[in-house]
């Protein structure tokens, strides 16, 4: 069977990306799942970053590529695939057999015999290589096996001129076109190989490489897959492509990374600082950086999007469907990168001052965080007569590589058999009958507790129960699991949640309330129907909202996640910036019109391809079977969905958006309520508004202007209070200063300390200013208690300063008494404290400290 390409984001915890055509089929190779067919073929979009440093330097390495593959799950093996591959390349494609070479694994005499005897390849065209070249694995763990590759000799013009150049050389001459993997082992975490249940075949051929040979051009970048992109880069940069030199290198890197970035975004990846998003960010930034080396400084990657789309849109329609998102994300990321580059230049400039050598760490930070290629740093440094510690840079770079390798391994993740996959294998998929009923009979086929299969469970136990068929909906596609009861004549169990521990297997998470439940029992499974009705309402409401958001905000809106629960729904989608109140109201109105029209909600089963071509929305990360359910609200929306819905939109009643927030770059989340919950909220809000209105007195129409008036009044009252406090403070102060002046003769510095009830920092400062002006020989220490906290301000006049007074030190010491801290300059300082009861004590203590300051010493500690 020919399968369409699967997503770049694999359904596989051990891998960040789909790195090969075999990735989506891993469970079949491992024997975890039984495939529907034993022979499959795909043209699979792939992302691999292990060759990133070679991209652009060779004619054949990429980060994104299409892999043509054919797979046998325990069906044909070595003796079939070798002659078939040969026949395909020589007879169908028409490659010159005399230019072809086969490589095999060191001790694979069987493959050698097939190449030699069945195909007729001569000994001098068969090479044996070791683990690096002829043993293939998708990752550190998982299915793997020896392989055999077909190479094509492109001739000496592609070679490196070394006398040792032969198959296996790193240059472009002997091009690996097709890899045939004899997938027969599973490697575990300890590196141990165990034979797989069956012998399988996994082959992979690079479409780009095959194209370059067939089109007889000098490498992948001159094929029709890349040439138009490179031409567009030429136009933007205003320079011509030359194979050798920096133009050629930059254009190859840009066109490669651009394809990868566009496809990653189309599959739902957004720039981030880790995981897949980090790889995307690096690719966009690397491409932008290479753009600078050929003189492009403005954001330009988004200008390449149309040409990439034109080349690839058949069959990858996601490039067209996600055009808006690709544009937005690339534009934002490149703009952000330009800013970072500027900041990097500032950093570098600062680092260059007074230095002869720039440290490797700084050079690496510039490279890693700011995207400065080492050459750029080197050039700027050379201009300033500074050298770069390149060994240090390499060391930092190696550390980073190690970190990246470790994180991409995601070593704790496993993909293997467990009690649930075994149950699935033995008993088959659970039949779900919940589309047509809320209660049904089924037979217990498994009871699981702590990953162990049991044959019975008794009162008080919490166990997972598997039935052959059930009306319970397991959490999936955003809709949460059903709750309800399972009962037999001698047993009653409550279902707390329903889940899919593995695709196809529904488990009821139960607590046994009474009696004993045994494998083999017939049970009556009853879903909590009221809760389910509420879930249905929220689920259909989600679909209505999804379409309304597209209508109001634009076609770039795409679901990024959802949660459908009985009392609310949550919907995440790609969009840039918050929704305005008008937009929210528009969305709600569109949804409400659909509800008023009371349209039937139609469910149809169709083939995936048919559904997609009819324009039904599908989620990028979701894996769909061949036959899908399509949910349609006539003349409004159509979406692939396995969930539960109301039968007519009128049952929803009302949908109200209650919250809109950003949850990451370019993703928004709305929360909404529907049905009875929406009514409840409406009633609650109207009651609340009526209460407020009653308290304020007057008409509802003028309520908000009256609240505004109240707030204005409050502000002006606050201002008045402050003014009054200040006035009172100043009056009492003037009196105090007058008295003090009588006691202290002439210009001798004087401490004026006082408390001002309820005065904030601003007032204390104003008072301080007055004192300073009135007596330049004074130091003011002013304190107040506001909201249970102490505020202290100290200010010293000119003359006091000249005599050694220091406001900062003074405040620092006294603030300790009120359990606080602070300080500042000699002329002005501030502190806070937690103990208002000690404020007077603190002010009293100030005199001794002050005296010591002007006497040129420090006070005795008591």
Chain residues that interact with ligand SER, rule: CB under 6 A = 20-22, 69, 136, 179, 181, 202-204
How many whole angstroms separate alpha carbon 290 and alpha carbon 311?
A: 22
Nearer to ligand SER, 202 or 351 (CB): 202
How many whole angstroms separate alpha carbon 373 and alpha carbon 382?
A: 14
CA distance to 552, 587, 685, per residue, from 582 (Å): 10, 9, 20
Nearer to ligand SER, 179 or 574 (CB): 179
Nearer to ligand SER, 20 or 652 (CB): 20
Q: How far is the CB of 45 from ligand SER (least distance, A)?
A: 13
Exposed, middle or buried by CB within 10 Å (0-12, 13-18, 19+), for 509?
Answer: middle
Q: How far is the CB of 29 from ligand SER (least distance, A)?
A: 10
Nearer to ligand SER, 69 or 797 (CB): 69
Nearer to ligand SER, 10 or 808 (CB): 10
Nearer to ligand SER, 21 or 24 (CB): 21
Phi, psi of 142 (to 5 degrees): 115, -170
Nearer to ligand SER, 134 or 542 (CB): 134
Contacts of 272 (CB under 8 A, 6+ apart): 278, 280, 281, 664, 665
Nearer to ligand SER, 207 or 529 (CB): 207
Q: Are strands 387-388 and 357-358 parallel, antiparallel or unpaired?
A: parallel
Nearer to ligand SER, 136 or 636 (CB): 136
Q: How far is the CB of 19 from ligand SER (least distance, A)?
A: 7
Q: What is the dihedral of CA 231, 235, 240, 242, to 10 degrees?
A: -40
How many CB atoms sit inside 10 A of residue 42's CB?
A: 22
Q: Which of 36, 52, 49, 60 is nearest to 8 (CA)?
A: 49
CA distance to 18, 252, 267, 310, per residue, from 318 (Å): 17, 24, 8, 12
Say whether 188 sits in a helix, a strand or coil: coil
Nearer to ligand SER, 31 or 69 (CB): 69
Q: 551: number of CA atoms within 13 Å, CB side? A: 16
Contacts of 657 (CB under 8 A, 6+ apart): 545, 584, 587, 588, 670, 671, 672
Nearer to ligand SER, 114 or 362 (CB): 114
How many whole angstroms separate alpha carbon 848 and alpha carbon 829?
A: 18
Q: How far is the CB of 493 from ligand SER (least distance, A)?
A: 46
How many whole angstroms separate alpha carbon 323 and alpha carbon 301?
A: 13
Q: How far is the CB of 176 from ligand SER (least distance, A)?
A: 9
Q: 432: number of CA atoms within 13 Å, CB side? A: 21
| Exposure string for 551-587, b = 16+ CB within 10 A, e = fewer | ebbeebbbbbebbbebebbbbbbbbbeebeeebbebb
How many whole angstroms separate alpha carbon 23 and alpha carbon 312?
A: 22
Q: How far is the CB of 257 from ligand SER (least distance, A)?
A: 21
Q: How far is the CB of 13 from ligand SER (least distance, A)?
A: 19
Nearer to ligand SER, 204 or 446 (CB): 204
Strands (DSSP E) found in 765-827:
778-786, 789-796, 820-824
Cis check: omega of the bond before 315, within 30 degrees of 0 = yes
Q: How far is the CB of 455 from ligand SER (least distance, A)?
A: 42
Q: How far is the CB of 69 from ligand SER (least distance, A)?
A: 5
Say whether 633 sits in a helix, a strand or coil: strand
Nearer to ligand SER, 202 or 677 (CB): 202
Nearer to ligand SER, 203 or 499 (CB): 203
Cβ–Cβ under 8 Å, residues 810 and 838: no
Q: How far is the CB of 75 from ligand SER (least distance, A)?
A: 16
Q: How far is the CB of 2 from ligand SER (least distance, A)?
A: 16
How many whole angstroms separate alpha carbon 267 and alpha carbon 317?
A: 11
Backbone torsion region of residue 132, taken as left when φ is above 0, otherwise alpha when ψ lies between -120 and 50, otherwise beta: alpha
Nearer to ligand SER, 138 or 341 (CB): 138
Q: How far is the CB of 180 from ligand SER (least distance, A)?
A: 7
Unique residue bearing structure tokens 């007519």: 648
Contacts of 30 (CB under 8 A, 6+ apart): 142, 143, 186, 196, 415, 416
Unique residue bearing structure tokens 């040129």: 856
Nearer to ligand SER, 41 or 488 (CB): 41
Nearer to ligand SER, 149 or 232 (CB): 149
CA-atom Rg of the chain in angstroms: 37
Q: 72: number of CA atoms within 13 Å, CB side? A: 20
For the chain, the distance separating the N- and C-terminal CA atoms, rounded to the nearest angstrom, is 91
User: What is the number of the residue whose Cβ is closest to ligand SER?
Assistant: 204
| Exposure string for 375-390, b = 16+ CB within 10 A, e = fewer | ebbbebbeeeebebbe
Q: How far is the CB of 241 from ligand SER (least distance, A)?
A: 29
Q: How far is the CB of 209 from ligand SER (least distance, A)?
A: 12
Q: How far is the CB of 200 from ligand SER (least distance, A)?
A: 11
Q: How far is the CB of 71 from ligand SER (least distance, A)?
A: 8
Q: How far is the CB of 204 from ligand SER (least distance, A)?
A: 2
């Amino acid at each position: 069977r020919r399968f369409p390409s699967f997503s770049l984001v694999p359904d596989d915890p051990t891998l960040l990306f789909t790195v090969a055509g075999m990735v989506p089929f891993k469970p079949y190779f491992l024997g975890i799942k039984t495939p529907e067919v034993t022979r499959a073929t795909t043209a699979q979009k792939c992302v691999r970053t292990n060759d990133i440093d070679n991209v652009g330097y060779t004619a054949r390495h990429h980060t994104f590529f299409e892999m043509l593959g054919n797979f046998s799950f325990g069906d044909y093996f070595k003796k079939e695939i070798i002659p078939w591959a040969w026949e395909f390349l020589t007879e169908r494609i028409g490659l010159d057999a005399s230019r072809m070479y086969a490589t095999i694994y060191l001790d694979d005499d069987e493959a050698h015999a097939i190449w030699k005897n069945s195909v007729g390849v001569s000994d001098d065209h068969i090479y044996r290589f070791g683990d690096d070249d002829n043993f293939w694995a998708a990752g550190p763990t998982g299915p793997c096996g020896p392989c055999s590759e077909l190479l094509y000799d492109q001739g000496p013009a592609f070679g490196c001129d070394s006398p040792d150049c032969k198959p296996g050389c790193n240059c472009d001459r002997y091009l690996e076109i097709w890899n045939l993997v004899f997938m027969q082992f599973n490697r575990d975490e300890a590196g141990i190989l165990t034979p797989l249940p069956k012998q399988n075949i996994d082959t992979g051929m690079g479409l780009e490489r095959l194209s370059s040979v067939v089109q007889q051009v000098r490498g992948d970048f001159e094929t029709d897959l890349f040439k138009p992109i490179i031409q567009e880069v030429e136009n933007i940069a205003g320079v011509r492509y030359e194979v050798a030199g920096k133009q050629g290198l930059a254009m190859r890197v840009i066109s490669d990374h651009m394809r990868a970035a566009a496809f990653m975004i189309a599959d739902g990846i957004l720039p981030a600082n880790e995981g897949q998003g980090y790889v995307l960010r690096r690719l966009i930034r690397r491409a932008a950086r290479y753009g600078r080396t050929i003189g492009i400084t403005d954001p330009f990657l988004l200008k390449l999007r149309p040409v990439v789309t034109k080349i690839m849109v058949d069959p990858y329609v996601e490039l067209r469907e996600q055009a808006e998102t690709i544009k937005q994300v690339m534009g934002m990321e490149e703009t952000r990168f330009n800013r970072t580059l500027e900041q990097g230049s500032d950093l570098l400039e600062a680092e260059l001052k007074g230095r002869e050598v720039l440290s490797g760490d700084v050079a690496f930070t510039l490279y890693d965080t700011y995207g400065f290629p080492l050459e750029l740093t080197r050039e700027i440094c050379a201009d300033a007569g500074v050298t770069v510690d390149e060994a240090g840079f390499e060391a930092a770079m190696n550390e980073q590589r190690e970190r990246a390798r470790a994180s991409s391994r995601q070593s704790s993740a496993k993909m293997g058999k467990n009690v649930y996959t075994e149950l699935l294998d033995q008993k088959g998929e659970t039949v779900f009958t919940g589309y047509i009923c809320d209660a049904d009979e089924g037979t217990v086929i498994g009871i699981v507790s702590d990953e162990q299969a049991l044959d019975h469970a008794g009162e008080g136990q919490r166990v997972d129960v598997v039935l052959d068929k059930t009306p319970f909906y397991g959490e999936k596609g955003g809709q949460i699991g059903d709750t309800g009861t399972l009962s037999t004549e001698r047993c009653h169990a409550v279902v707390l949640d329903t889940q899919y521990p593995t695709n196809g297997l529904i488990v009821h998470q139960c607590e046994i309330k009474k009696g004993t439940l045994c494998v083999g029992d017939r049970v009556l499974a009853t879903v909590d129907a009221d809760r389910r009705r509420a879930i249905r309402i929220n689920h259909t409401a989600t679909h209505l909202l999804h379409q309304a958001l597209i209508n109001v905000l634009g076609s770039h809106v795409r679901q990024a996640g959802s949660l459908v629960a009985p009392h609310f729904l949550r919907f995440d989608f790609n969009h840039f910036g918050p929704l305005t109140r008008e937009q929210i109201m528009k969305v709600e109105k569109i949804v409400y019109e659909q509800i008023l029209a009371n349209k039937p909600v139609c469910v149809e089963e169709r083939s995936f391809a048919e559904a997609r071509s009819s324009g039904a929305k599908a989620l990028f990360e979701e894996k769909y079977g061949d036959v899908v359910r399509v949910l349609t609200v006539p003349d409004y929306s159509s979406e692939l969905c396995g969930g539960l819905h109301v039968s007519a939109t009128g049952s929803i009643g009302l949908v109200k958006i209650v919250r809109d927030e950003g949850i990451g770059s370019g993703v928004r989340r709305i929360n909404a309520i529907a049905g009875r919950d929406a009514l409840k909220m409406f009633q609650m809000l109207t009651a609340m508004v009526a209460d407020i209105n009653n308290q304020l007195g007057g008409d509802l129409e003028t309520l908000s202007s009256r609240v505004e008036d109240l707030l204005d009044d409050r502000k002006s009252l606050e201002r008045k209070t402050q003014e009054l406090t200040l006035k009172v403070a100043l009056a009492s102060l003037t009196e105090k200063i007058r008295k003090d002046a009588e006691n202290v003769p002439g210009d001798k510095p004087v401490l004026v300390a006082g408390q001002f009830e309820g005065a904030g920092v601003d007032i204390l400062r104003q008072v301080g200013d007055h004192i300073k002006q009135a007596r330049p020989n004074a130091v003011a220490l002013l304190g107040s208690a506001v909201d249970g906290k102490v505020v202290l301000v100290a200010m010293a006049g000119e003359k006091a300063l000249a005599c050694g007074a220091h406001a900062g030190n003074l405040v620092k010491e006294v603030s300790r008494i009120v359990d606080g801290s602070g300080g500042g300059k000699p002329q002005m300082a501030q502190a806070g404290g937690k103990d208002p009861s000690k404020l007077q004590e603190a002010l009293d203590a100030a005199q001794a400290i002050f005296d010591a300051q002007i006497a040129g010493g420090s006070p005795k500690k008591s």
